[in-house]
Structure 1
Amino acid sequence: MPAHQKKDIRSLDLAQLQQHFTTLNEPAYRAKQVYQWLWEKSAHSFGEMSNLSKDLRKKLDEQFTINAVTVNQSQISTDHTIKSSFRLYDGNIVEGVLIPMDDRMTACVSSQVGCSLTCKFCATGYMDRKRNLNADEIYDQVVLIDGQARANYKLPLTNIVYMGMGEPLLNYANVLRSIERITAPDGLNMSYKRITVSTAGIAKMIKKLGDDQVKFNLALSLHAANDQKRNEIMPINEQNSLKALAEALKYYFSKTKNPVTYEYIVFNDFNDDISDAMELARFCKHVPCKVNLIEYNPIQFASFINAQADKIDIFSGYLKSQGITTNIRRSRGKDIDAACGQLAVKEQAAL
C-alpha cells in the first residue's frame, strides 16, 4: 500500500487496535504490546517492536504508518533555553522550546501549524493557520524535548505548557487526546498538575473544559482587562468579551475547582498604568487566580515595546496589595526568538 494511503496507527485507541488485530487472527494481547511500543516506548518504526514476529511487523508496516515528528533544527540560548523546529510528516514545521530552570524542566509545545487569531503582539499571529496538529504530533514534541532535557541537562521534563504556536482550544479534541496519552499509565505517566493549557480566550470552549472536568491547569492570555484595549491587540475579544470570559471562567471553576492563571504582557504606555492594574484586580475577583506579569519580547511585525521595569514593579505591587498572587516572569531564550510571542517559522510568516 502506498505510504499516503496507510492509516496513522496512533490515531487508533486500544479498543480499535484490538479490533483490528482480531481481523488479522492475532491475539488481543498483541495489540497491547504494539500500543505499549507506540505510547510508553515512543517507537517510531515497526522494526523496533522486537517482541513481535517479523511477519506481524511486516503486516503492520504494510497497513499502517507512524507519522513520526523529527527535530529539524535546534538553537541553544545564552540562558540555556533550547528552541527546536520540528518537521511533521507532511513537511510542515512547528516550533517548541525547552526552558531549563533550577527547579524544573519545562517543555513549551505547539498545537497548530500557524494560528488564525492574529494577536497583534505575537509572531505566530502573523502566520496563516495551515492545520491542526494530531495528538501524536503534540505527544512527539514532548518526547523529543524530554530527550533534549536528559541529553543536555541530565534531567527529565517536569512540566509541559501548551503555549507554543496555535490556539489549543481551537484544536480541542487533539489537545485533550495528547494530554490523555501524556498522563496515562500506559503512556508517559506524567501528572495532570504539571500540564498547563493556555488560551487566548474562547468562552464556549472554556465552558467545555468545565463540562469535561479537566484536571490540567488553565491559563488565560489576558493582556488587558478593558474591552477596548483588548479588542485593539486581540481581535478574538470582539466575539469573546471580558464579560463572556468572566462567565465562562466562573462556570469552569464551578465544575473543576481549578484556579486560573492570567498571563499579562506589560506593554510600554499601553497597559502598564496603575489604572490598568486596578482593572485587572477587579477582573481577578471572578474566580480564584494568580497573575503572571510577562516581559514583552519584540517581534519584527509589531511596534510594541516592553514596559519600564519600575512600572512593572509598581503594577505588581498594586496587585499584591489587593491579595492577588503575582509573579513577574523574565524572558527566556530571547536571543534565539524562543521567548513568549516570538515563535514563528520564518519562511511561513506572512508579511
Structure 2
Amino acid sequence: MTGQKILDFSYSQLKEWVCAMGEPGYRADQILRWVYGRLATSFEQMTDLPQPLRQKLASVASLFSLIPVDEKVSADGSTRKVLFRTHDEKTIESVLMLYPKTGLSRERRTICVSTQVGCPVGCPFCATGQQGFERNLDTGEIIEQILHFMRLLNTRQLSQEILPNLVRRPVTNVVFMGMGEPLANYEAVWQSIVMLNSNHGLEIGARQITVSTAGLVLQIKRLARESVHVELAVSLHAARDDLRNTLVPINRKYPLGQLIPECWEYLEKTGRRPTFEYALFQGINDSLSHARDLSLLLKGLNCHVNLMVGNPTTNPNFIPAPIKRVVAFQNYLTGSGVSNSLRASKGVDIDAACGQLRSRWLNMEPKTQGAQA
C-alpha cells in the first residue's frame, strides 16, 4: 500500500490535499467521480487527469488496500460473503444480499459491512463476539467493502442471474451490521456515512443506510444530532436487564432504563422509528413471558421489531428456537400491538451470520489459508 489512502479523506480533506500538491481544487471532484461514479481501480484509469498528476498520485497515494481471500455463495445465489485481508494481515467480512421485487416489496441490493476487526461487546451467541477485539477499521476500509460489491454488480454478471431487470444503481442499501460495534468506531463510521450519502460520493439516501448498535447510549444521542438522519437498529435480544446483561454485556454499562428512553429521543430528533433486533434461542429468550416483557418494554414507542431465529453457533447453550415457539412469540407481539416481522435468514448454508466465515478461517492451518488465498 502506497502513501495516503484516498478513501480515508472527506471531500474537504481531499480538496485541501490536492491543493497542497499545487493542483486546482476541482481535481478532487474529478478523482471522486472516478472512484465513486465510475468505480475506477487505479489512478491510471482517470483519463481526464493529466498524465503527470496520475503518475504522482500513484507514487504518493493508494485507492484500495483490502484483498479478497475467501468467498462463499449461497445455493440460490442471493447471498455472497467475502472475507478480506487488511494491510496488516487482519481479516474482516462483508455480505452482499440480493432481494428480487416481490409483491409490494421493492428490489434491493444490500451490503452488510464490518466496522471493526473483531468486536469488544462479547455477546456469547455471536461468532464475532467470541473472537475478541483487535482494532477499528478506518473510513477507507469501510467504504472499500461497498465498492468491491458495486464493481461486482456493475459487471451485471451477478445481477443477471438473480436480478435480470437491474436498471438502477448497483447498491440500494447499506447496513452497518457486520463485524464490530459501529458506534464504538464513531468517527470512521460517521465519515463513511457522509461519503455514502454525499453527492460527491455514492448518493445513497439516508433512509437506505442503517446503523446497528448493541446499545451505546451516548453515541446514539450523538447520532441523533448529526446532519444525516440514518436508520437505527438496536440489537436488543432481551427485555429484562438480568437476561440482557448476559446476552448483550454492554447492558451492564447502559441498562434498558437508559437505552429505551434514548431510542424515544432518537425518534423525536430524527423522525426515524428505531428497529429492535431480537434473535430467538430455545429456552433462553423465546417464551411467551419473554414476549410479554418485550411488549411492555416497547409499549407506546413507534418502533419495529425484527424477529429472527438465532443462528447456530459453536456455543452449545445457544440453540435456534423451534419455529413453533417463534410463531407463538410473534403472534403475542402482534396481538399486543407491537409492529414486527419475522426476518428470513439468508445465507444459512454458507454460515453468512456475523463472524462465522472469519472464525473458520482463523481455525484453519496457516498452510491451508495460504493455498486458498
Shorter-chain TM-score tier: over 0.9
What is the one-letter code of the residue matched to 1:76?
V
C-alpha contact 2:43 2:54 (8 A) present in aligned 1: yes
- The question of 1:134 aligning with 2:144 is answered no
Summarize deviations over 1:265-322 as a string: whole Å, max 9, x none.
1111111111111110112126310111111111113421111211111111111112
Within 2, Cα distance between the matches of 1:177 and 1:349? Answer: 33
What is the one-letter code of the residue matched to 1:151?
Q
- The question of 1:241 aligning with 2:255 is answered yes
Q: How does 1:5-84 map to 2 (within 5 A)?
A: 6-80=3-77, 81-84=79-82
C-alpha contact 1:123 1:343 (8 A) present in aligned 2: no
Summarize deviations over 1:162-213 as a string: whole Å, max 9, x none.
1111110011111111121112122111211111111111111111111225
In structure 2, the partner of 1:145 is 149
Give the stretch that moved more between structures: 283-292 or 159-168. 283-292
Gaps of 5+ in 1: none
- The question of 1:197 aligning with 2:197 is answered no
In structure 2, the partner of 1:303 is 317
C-alpha contact 1:165 1:343 (8 A) present in aligned 2: no
Within 2, Cα distance between the matches of 1:285 and 1:213? Answer: 29
- The question of 1:101 aligning with 2:107 is answered no
Deviation at 1:343, TM superposition (A): 5.2
Q: How does 1:157-236 map to 2 (within 5 A)?
A: 157-212=171-226, 214-236=228-250
Deviation at 1:153, TM superposition (A): 2.4
Summarize deviations over 1:217-264 as a string: whole Å, max 9, x none.
110010000111111122111111010101211222221121011110
In structure 2, the partner of 1:115 is 119
What is the one-letter code of the residue matched to 2:23?
E
Give the stretch that moved more between structures: 183-192 or 257-266. 183-192
What is the one-letter code of the residue matched to 2:309?
E
Within 2, Cα distance between the matches of 1:311 and 1:287? Answer: 25
Gaps of 5+ in 2: 102-107, 161-165, 365-373
SS in 2 for 1:36: helix
C-alpha contact 2:215 2:234 (8 A) present in aligned 1: yes
Within 2, Cα distance between the matches of 1:206 and 1:64? Answer: 34
C-alpha contact 2:10 2:191 (8 A) present in aligned 1: no
SS in 2 for 1:344: helix
Calculate the aligned-residue CA RMSD, in Å. Answer: 2.0
What is the one-letter code of the residue matched to 1:162?
F
Within 1, Cα distance between the matches of 2:83 and 2:293? Answer: 38
**What percent of counterpart residues are identical?**
39
TM-score (norm 1): 0.92
Give the stretch that moved more between structures: 36-45 or 85-94. 36-45
Give the stretch that moved more between structures: 68-77 or 123-132. 68-77
Summarize deviations over 1:75-99 as a string: whole Å, max 9, x none.
1112322111122233321111112
Query: Are residues 32 and 346 of structure 1, via their aligned partners in 2, closer, same or farther at CA, if it must alter by over 3 Å?
Result: same
C-alpha contact 1:72 1:86 (8 A) present in aligned 2: yes
What is the one-letter code of the residue matched to 2:338?
I
In structure 1, the partner of 2:340 is 326
SS in 1 for 2:69: strand
Within 2, Cα distance between the matches of 1:194 and 1:167? Answer: 19
What is the one-letter code of the residue matched to 1:200?
A
SS in 2 for 1:130: strand
What is the one-letter code of the residue matched to 2:126?
C
Query: Are residues 20 and 223 of structure 1, via their aligned partners in 2, closer, same or farther at CA, if it must alter by over 3 Å?
Result: closer
Within 1, Cα distance between the matches of 2:209 and 2:345? Answer: 20
What is the one-letter code of the residue matched to 2:80?
I
Give the stretch that moved more between structures: 225-234 or 84-93. 84-93
Give the length in aligned residue pairs: 347
Query: Are residues 24 and 109 of structure 1, via their aligned partners in 2, closer, same or farther at CA, if it must alter by over 3 Å?
Result: closer
Deviation at 1:347, TM superposition (A): 4.1
TM-score (norm 2): 0.87
Within 2, Cα distance between the matches of 1:330 and 1:14? Answer: 38
Query: Are residues 234 and 17 of structure 1, via their aligned partners in 2, closer, same or farther at CA, if it must alter by over 3 Å?
Result: closer
